[in-house]
C-alpha cells in the first residue's frame, strides 16, 4: 500500500506515524513545502514572550529524526500543485528549482493545514508587520522586538492566538493594543457577557482593547509606525496580523473534491468525495459532536485526534471520528479562559430551549494559599436537562473544569448525571463539592425554580430597572443599596415590602441565594438573585454616585493613578517623562489631556514625572488611551523598578557624564524591560552628573554619580605663590604641603574642578567614570547609601551592576522591606561581594521565573 501524505505538521505526521505502526509494510511518504515538520504551532506566542527560550524547543521532530523513528519517508521543500483523483496522481513542485514531477499513490491523505490571513491593506508588507503561524514567524518577530527595541504593538484580531500574542508581548514590556472588527473579543467562542468580562479584566491589566474597530492601513515609511483605523491612528512599532486563517487548499480547485469555503468536506471516516482520498487537520470541515452539523475547528488537538483515527481507518479498523466540541483554553495576563460545546447563542440558533446559569465558585479550598475563583457559565437544554456547553474564566485550572464539561457533553450527560460526580478533592486542588458540580447544582436549582435569578446579560441589558437592590455581602459594599445582614434575618426585613421587586446581590452569589430562600419563607413574592454577583457584574444603584472599590483603587494605582484624598472617585495620574524631559509637542498633549480628562491642573512630582490632577475614575482608561496614541504612558508606582530621575548633567556646566543618555538607557532596560518583575518593594534609581548631589543619588535605592578622579604628579609642581588647584577646590581638600600640591584622597569627591587648573600639569585626570551608591532611602526612615569600592569606567559595566543590584534585591530581599534594609540585614561587605560577582547574571532566568514577591510592599 502506497500512501502519500500532503502536509506534515500535526495531522499529517500523526497519521503517518500511527499508520506505520498499524501496517509496517505500508510505503508512506510525507511531502511538505516547509523545511520543518511536526512543530509546536500553539507554542509560538510563548517563544515570543520568552517562556520558551530556544527555537529548537518548538520542533517536536526534525524530518530526519521523524523518518528514523517511524520509517516514514519525508520530503521537505515540496509543494502539491494539483491532484488527479481518477489517475491517483499528485503533481508536486520542488520549491528550490521550481521543477515539477508527478507522484502516484494508492491512498492520499490531505493534511495541508491553514495559513494566516494577511489583509490586503496599504502598508501590510512593511517591516515590522508579522503573522504568527510558523516557527520562523516567531523567531523573526522576537529578533525584531530586540533589534528595534519595540515599545508599542498593535495586534489585529481578538481571538485565542491574538490574545495569546498580546499577553506575550506584554511580558516583553511592550504596550499592547488589540483591535477587532467584531463587537466583542473572542467572537463565536464566548458569549458576549463573558467576553465583556474578559475584556474588562484585560483592560485592568493594561491591555488596550478596541472592538467594533476596522483596520484600514498600516502606516509608516521604512517600517511599521502604527495602524490607521476608522477611529484614527494608533502608533505602534510592531503590528501583528491575527485576523484568521485560510485552508491551504488552492491546489485542489480543479480536482473535483467537495469543499465549503475552502475547507474539505469529509465523512465520519475522514473520507473526501474522491475515492481513496482522505483529509484531516485544519483544512477539513468535520461535524459538531452535539448537533451533527458541519463545523470547522482548526485546533492542534483535534488535528492530532483526526490524524490518529484516520490512520486506524486506513489500516482496516472499524473506526469513526465523532466530531468536535470546539473545546479550547487560553492563557491571558493573570487570567485563564476555557470553553467547550455550544455557546448560548449557538444553542438557541440550533433550536434548543436554552437555560443558563452564571456561577462563581472557589477554585480550591478558600483557606488554601492563592485560592481564587471561577466564573462559570453553564448551558443546558431546558426540556431534557442535557448539558450543551460550558465557559469558564479564572486564575486557576480552568482546563480541568473545561475537560470535565467536554467529557460530560461527549457522553450525552444530563445535569442529573453530574450532580454526584466523584471528583478528586484535596484543599490544594479543589473544594469538597467540586466547583463544576456546584455549578450543576445552581443550574438545577434554577430549572426547578428553587432559585429565581437574573443573568449578567439580562442585568447589563437593563432588566433590573425598577428593582430595589439589596446588598447581602458580609460587609456593605454597594453605595445606595439596602444592606441586609443575612445572619440576622429571622422574619420580615424592615424597608422591604413583600411585593417589592427585589434584586439580591452579594459578593459571589451564594449569600443572595440563601437570603432568597429565607425571604420566600417569610412571604416575599418577587425576589431575584443576580447571578455572578459583584464578582462578575458592575453593580450600581440608580441615582447614586459611583464610589470606587478598594480593589479598583489598588488596581489603578498600579497604572500610575493615586487617589486624590479630597475626593471619593478622583485620581492624580502620573505621566512618565524621560527624567523630566519632554518635547514641546508632548507638553501640548499632556496639557490637552489635563483639560479633557482631569481638572486642567498639572503638578510635577519629586521624581520628575508629571501628574494630571483630579481625573475621575471613569476617565482613567480614556486618558491612558489618549496619551498612548501620542507615545506617552502612565505608571511609576508599585513594587518594581521606578522611573529613573536624573539631574541635567548633560547640559549643566558642572556635569561630568551624559546623564540624559545614561538615565534613558537605564529607563528602557530596567523600567520598561523589568516592568513585569515584582520586587520586595519599590526600587528607585537616581543619576547625578557630579557630586553637587542635586537629585540625591545617595538617598535612592541605587545612585550613580559621575566621577573625575585627580592624580598628583609632585615632580611637576612649581610651588607657585598662588596655586590655582588649591583656589579651585570647592571643598578645600587640595592644599600645599611642604611646598608641593597634595589632595586628601579620602575626602576628595572627584568633582573634577581642579583638573587642567595647574599650568604645569601637576594635577591631571587619573580616571573618568561612575561611582555607584547602594542602599539609600529618603522618607520617614532615612538611610544614606554606601558606595561600591570601585570606580566604574565602562558604561556597560555600570548597566550590568544596576541589573545585578535589582536581581540581588529580588533574590535576597524579604517581601515588604526596602533595599536599604536588605543591605543592612545581609551586611554591606557581603552584599558588595555578591553584586560584584557574576553569579547573579548566571542565574538571572531562574531568578526572574521564580514566583516571588507577588504582593510587594510599596504603598505609593
Q: Which positions are catalytic?
A: 42
H/E element holding 708?
strand 702-712
SS3 category, 566: coil
How many Å separate Cα 34 from the centre of its chain? 30
Angle, to 10 degrees, between the axis of helix 795-812 and the axis of helix 659-666? 40
C-alpha torsion 203→207→211→215, nearest 10: 160
* Residue 550: how many other CB atoms lie within 10 Å: 8
Q: Cell 530621575 maps to which residue?
A: 645
Cell of 680: 520586595
Rounded to an integer, what distance in angstroms lies between the CA atom of residue 634 and that of residue 627?
8
Q: Which residues contact 859 (CB under 8 A, 6 or more apart)?
A: none
Rounded to an integer, what distance in angstroms lies between the CA atom of residue 151 and that of residue 355?
45
Dmax over Cα atoms in the chain, in whole Å?
A: 111
H/E element holding 611?
strand 610-616
Among 124, 132, 226, which Cα is nearest to 179's?
226
Rounded to an integer, what distance in angstroms lies between the CA atom of residue 31 and that of residue 682?
56
Q: Are 482 and 504 in contact (CB under 8 A)?
A: no
Q: Are 387 and 378 in contact (CB under 8 A)?
A: yes
Rounded to an integer, what distance in angstroms lies between the CA atom of residue 464 and that of residue 443?
21
Helices (H) and strands (E) in the chain, counts: 24, 45
Rounded to an integer, what distance in angstroms lies between the CA atom of residue 777 and that of residue 323?
63
Q: What is the layout of strands, in order, in the sheet containing 259-260? A: 259-260, 263-265, 284-287, 294-295
Which residues make beta-bridge pairs with 768? 708
* Burial class, 73, CB count within 10 angstroms (exposed 0-12 / middle 13-18 / buried 19+): middle
Rounded to an integer, what distance in angstroms lies between the CA atom of residue 428 and that of residue 432?
11
Among 430, 181, 198, which Cα is nearest to 331's?
198
Which residues make beta-bridge pairs with 581? 578
Amino acid at each position: 500500500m502506497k500512501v502519500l501524505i500532503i502536509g506534515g505538521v500535526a495531522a499529517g505526521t500523526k497519521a503517518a506515524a500511527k499508520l506505520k505502526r498499524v501496517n509496517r509494510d505500508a510505503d508512506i511518504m510525507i511531502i511538505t513545502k516547509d523545511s520543518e515538520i511536526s512543530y509546536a504551532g500553539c507554542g509560538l506566542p510563548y517563544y515570543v514572550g520568552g517562556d520558551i527560550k530556544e527555537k529548537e524547543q518548538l520542533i517536536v521532530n526534525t524530518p530526519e529524526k521523524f523518518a528514523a523513528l517511524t520509517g516514514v519517508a519525508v520530503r521537505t521543500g515540496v509543494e502539491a500543485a494539483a491532484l488527479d483523483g481518477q489517475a491517483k496522481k499528485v503533481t508536486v513542485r520542488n520549491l528550490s528549482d521550481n521543477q515539477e514531477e508527478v507522484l502516484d499513490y494508492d491512498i492520499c491523505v490531505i493534511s495541508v493545514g491553514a495559513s494566516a490571513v494577511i489583509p490586503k491593506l496599504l502598508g501590510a508588507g512593511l517591516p515590522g508587520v508579522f503573522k504568527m503561524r510558523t516557527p520562523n514567524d516567531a523567531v523573526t518577530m522576537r529578533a525584531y522586538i530586540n533589534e528595534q527595541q519595540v515599545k508599542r504593538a498593535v495586534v489585529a484580531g481578538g481571538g485565542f492566538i491574538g490574545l495569546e500574542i498580546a499577553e506575550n508581548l506584554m511580558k516583553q514590556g511592550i504596550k499592547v493594543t488589540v483591535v477587532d472588527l467584531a463587537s466583542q473579543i473572542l467572537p463565536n467562542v464566548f458569549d458576549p457577557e463573558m467576553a465583556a468580562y474578559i475584556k474588562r479584566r484585560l483592560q485592568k491589566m493594561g491591555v488596550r482593547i478596541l472592538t467594533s474597530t476596522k483596520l484600514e492601513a498600516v502606516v509608516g515609511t521604512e517600517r511599521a509606525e502604527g495602524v490607521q483605523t476608522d477611529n484614527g491612528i494608533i502608533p505602534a512599532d510592531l503590528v501583528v496580523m491575527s485576523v484568521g486563517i485560510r485552508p491551504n487548499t488552492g491546489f485542489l480547485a480543479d480536482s473535483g473534491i467537495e469543499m465549503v469555503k475552502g475547507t474539505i468536506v469529509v465523512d465520519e471516516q475522514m473520507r473526501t468525495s474522491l475515492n481513496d482520498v482522505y483529509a484531516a487537520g485544519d483544512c477539513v470541515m468535520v461535524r459538531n459532536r452535539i448537533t451533527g452539523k458541519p463545523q470547522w475547528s482548526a485546533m492542534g488537538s483535534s488535528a492530532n485526534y483526526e490524524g490518529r483515527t484516520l490512520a486506524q481507518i486506513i489500516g482496516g479498523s472499524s473506526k469513526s471520528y465523532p466530531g468536535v466540541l470546539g473545546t479550547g483554553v487560553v492563557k491571558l495576563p493573570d487570567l485563564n479562559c476555557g470553553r467547550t460545546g455550544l455557546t448560548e447563542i449557538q444553542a438557541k440558533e440550533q433550536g434548543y430551549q436554552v437555560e443558563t446559569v452564571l456561577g462563581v465558585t472557589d477554585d480550591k479550598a478558600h483557606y488554601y494559599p492563592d485560592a481564587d475563583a471561577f466564573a462559570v457559565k453553564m448551558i443546558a437544554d431546558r426540556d431534557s436537562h442535557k448539558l450543551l456547553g460550558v465557559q469558564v474564566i479564572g486564575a486557576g485550572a480552568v482546563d480541568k473544569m473545561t475537560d470535565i464539561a467536554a467529557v460530560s457533553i461527549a457522553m450525552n450527560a444530563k445535569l442529573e448525571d453530574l450532580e454526584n460526580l466523584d471528583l478528586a478533592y484535596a484543599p490544594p486542588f479543589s473544594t469538597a463539592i467540586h466547583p463544576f458540580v456546584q455549578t450543576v447544582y445552581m443550574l438545577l436549582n434554577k430549572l426547578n425554580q428553587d432559585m429565581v435569578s437574573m443573568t449578567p446579560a439580562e442585568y447589563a441589558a437593563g432588566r433590573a430597572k425598577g428593582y430595589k437592590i439589596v446588598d447581602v455581602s458580609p460587609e456593605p459594599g454597594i453605595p445606595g443599596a439596602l444592606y441586609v445582614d443575612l445572619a440576622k434575618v429571622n422574619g420580615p426585613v424592615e424597608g422591604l415590602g413583600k411585593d417589592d421587586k427585589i434584586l439580591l446581590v452579594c459578593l459571589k452569589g451564594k449569600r443572595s441565594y440563601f437570603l432568597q430562600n429565607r425571604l420566600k419563607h417569610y412571604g416575599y413574592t418577587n425576589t431575584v438573585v443576580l447571578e455572578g454577583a459583584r464578582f462578575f457584574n458592575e453593580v450600581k444603584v440608580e441615582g447614586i454616585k459611583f464610589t470606587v472599590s478598594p480593589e479598583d483603587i489598588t488596581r489603578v494605582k498600579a497604572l500610575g493613578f493615586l487617589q486624590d484624598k479630597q475626593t471619593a472617585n478622583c485620581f492624580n495620574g502620573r505621566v512618565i517623562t524621560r527624567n523630566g524631559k519632554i518635547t514641546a509637542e508632548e507638553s501640548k498633549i499632556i496639557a490637552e489631556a489635563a483639560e479633557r480628562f482631569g481638572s486642567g491642573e498639572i503638578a510635577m512630582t519629586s521624581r520628575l514625572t508629571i501628574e494630571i490632577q483630579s481625573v475621575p475614575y471613569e476617565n482613567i482608561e480614556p486618558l491612558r488611551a489618549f496619551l498612548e496614541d501620542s507615545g506617552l504612558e502612565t505608571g511609576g508606582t508599585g513594587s518594581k523598578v521606578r522611573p529613573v530621575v536624573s539631574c541635567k548633567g548633560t547640559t549643566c556646566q558642572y556635569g561630568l557624564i551624559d546623564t540624559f543618555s545614561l538615565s534613558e538607557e537605564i529607563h528602557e532596560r530596567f523600567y520598561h524591560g523589568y516592568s513585569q518583575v515584582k520586587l520586595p518593594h519599590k526600587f528607585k534609581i537616581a543619576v547625578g552628573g557630579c557630586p553637587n548631589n542635586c537629585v540625591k543619588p545617595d538617598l535612592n535605592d541605587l545612585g550613580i554619580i559621575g566621577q573625575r578622579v585627580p592624580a598628583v604628579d609632585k615632580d611637576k609642581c612649581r610651588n607657585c605663590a598662588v596655586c590655582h588647584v588649591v583656589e579651585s577646590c570647592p571643598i578645600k581638600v587640595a592644599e600645599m604641603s611642604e611646598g608641593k600640591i597634595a589632595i586628601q584622597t579620602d575626602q576628595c569627591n572627584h568633582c573634577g574642578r581642579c583638573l587642567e587648573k595647574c599650568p604645569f600639569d601637576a594635577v591631571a585626570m587619573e580616571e573618568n567614570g561612575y561611582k555607584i551608591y547602594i542602599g539609600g532611602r529618603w522618607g520617614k526612615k532615612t538611610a544614606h547609601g554606601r558606595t561600591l569600592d570601585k570606580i566604574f569606567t565602562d558604561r556597560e559595566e555600570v548597566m550590568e551592576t544596576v541589573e545585578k543590584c535589582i536581581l540581588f534585591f529580588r533574590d535576597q530581599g524579604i517581601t515588604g522591606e526596602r533595599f536599604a534594609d536588605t543591605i543592612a540585614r545581609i551586611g554591606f561587605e557581603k552584599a558588595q561581594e555578591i553584586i560584584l560577582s557574576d553569579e547573579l547574571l548566571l542565574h538571572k532566568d531562574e531568578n526572574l521565573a521564580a514566583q516571588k514577591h507577588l504582593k510587594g510592599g510599596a504603598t505609593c
